[in-house]
Amino acid sequence: MARLFDVVTFDCYGTLVDWERGIEEACRAAAAADGVRLDPAALLAAYAEIEPQVEAEPYRSYRDVLAETARRVAARLGWRLADARAGFLALSLPAWPPFADTNPALERLARAGYRLGILSNVDDDLLVATRRHFTVGFDLLVTAEQAGAYKPAPAHFALARQRIGGARWLHAAQSHFHDVVPACAGGIPVAWINRARQAPSNAARPARELHSLTELADWLAPD
């Protein structure tokens, strides 16, 4: 089967890496040290609401985004988090695990000849730490630190396009809000990896809606 694209890029946290598990475990441990027990559903709902608000403010490093988000989430949930301990999420991030289907799917795509990349709302050094979990290399890395902005702002996609040039490009991501919407707005084909079968955040429609990275590999690199 002829390849449909030359380059496949991915969002990292939420698409390749199980960020909800990482955030939940880190927050639960930090709260327990303060004698606080968190409800996982309430925690993740608050986090999903608050982090994009912090990212939409004047640019700060992702370490600072994580710390400020932790402060606001803790305040929302009635957890008196000491300011000196608000950096725990960045400290935990290198241990956040990939999904079980991530490396097998990436390996299949690499064997099929696709160039792979990551477009992530993260600092460069944090992505370096996360990449140790992956079993393939990446030809393209675009971070918030490089772009000076956070998705859904278009800077990641504009910078990636400059580096990719005229190659046929597919972006694959879990977040409709952070990735599908700006990719569609920029005319970039996007595969929505809708693991949780969520409703779309607006009328933007992906080129393909899938429910795992295995399904993505089945589409692009059938055995």
Q: Which residues are catalytic?
A: 11
Q: With contact defined as beta carbons under 8 Å apart, do 7 and 167 qualify?
A: yes
Cα–Cα distance for residue pair 122/156, rounded to 1 Å:
11
Instruction: From 71, 37, 35, 33, select the one nearest 51 (Cα to Cα).
Output: 71
| Residues in contact with 3: Cβ distance below 8 Å, sequence separation at least 6, in sequence order | 112, 113, 114, 220
Angle at 176 between CA 171 and CA 182, to 5 degrees: 60
How many Cβ atoms are within 10 Å of 127's Cβ, its own excluded? 22
Cα–Cα distance for residue pair 59/49, rounded to 1 Å:
18
Q: With contact defined as beta carbons under 8 Å apart, do 63 and 55 qualify?
A: no
* Burial per residue of 162-189, b for 16 or more beta-carbon CB atoms within 10 angstroms, e otherwise: eebeeeebbbbbbbbbbbbbbbbeeebb
Cα–Cα distance for residue pair 28/37, rounded to 1 Å:
7
